[in-house]
Amino acid sequence: MEHKLDEKEISEIRNARADNGMIAYEMGRMKIEQINLESRLDELDKMEEDMIARYKGNVTKERKMGSKLSKKYGDGTIDLEKGVFLSSKKSNIILPK
């Protein structure tokens, strides 16, 4: 048995289908955006890992240099502005002028 739909019913169904089409389109667009963001986050994670590795390498390099200077000059600190090593132990040696 067939029943004729009135224009209001047809219009409501068409509007619902159109809305569903837009929803599906927007969901697809959001998924693509999510994929792009996840890809960017992966890139940032990789960059972070690289920076951490570089940082650790620099810390190791600095420690080795500090150890080398300590062996050479004894305990002390470095004044990079003046470019000197400042011994932390007072020396009893008096240097001639």
The pLDDT of residue 48 is: 98
92 Cβ contact list (under 8 Å, min separation 6): none
* Gyration radius (Cα) of the chain, Å: 36
The pLDDT of residue 96 is: 52
Q: What is the average per-residue pLDDT within 77-97?
A: 73
Q: What is the average per-residue pLDDT within 6-26?
A: 97
Q: Is residue 51 part of a domain?
A: yes
Our count of domains for the chain comes to 1
Q: What is the average per-residue pLDDT within 9-37?
A: 98
Q: Is residue 47 part of a domain?
A: yes
* Structural domain span for residue 50: 7-87
Residue 87: what residue type? S
Q: Is residue 73 part of a domain?
A: yes
Q: Is residue 95 part of a domain?
A: no
Q: Is residue 25 part of a domain?
A: yes
pLDDT tens digits for range 29-81? 999 999 999 999 999 999 999 999 999 999 999 999 989 998 998 888 888 89
Q: How far is residue 55's CA from residue 61's CA, in Å, rounded to a whole number?
A: 10
Structure tokens at 7: 């224009």
Q: Is residue 93 part of a domain?
A: no
78 Cβ contact list (under 8 Å, min separation 6): 66, 69, 84, 85, 86
Threshold 0.85, pTM exceeds: no
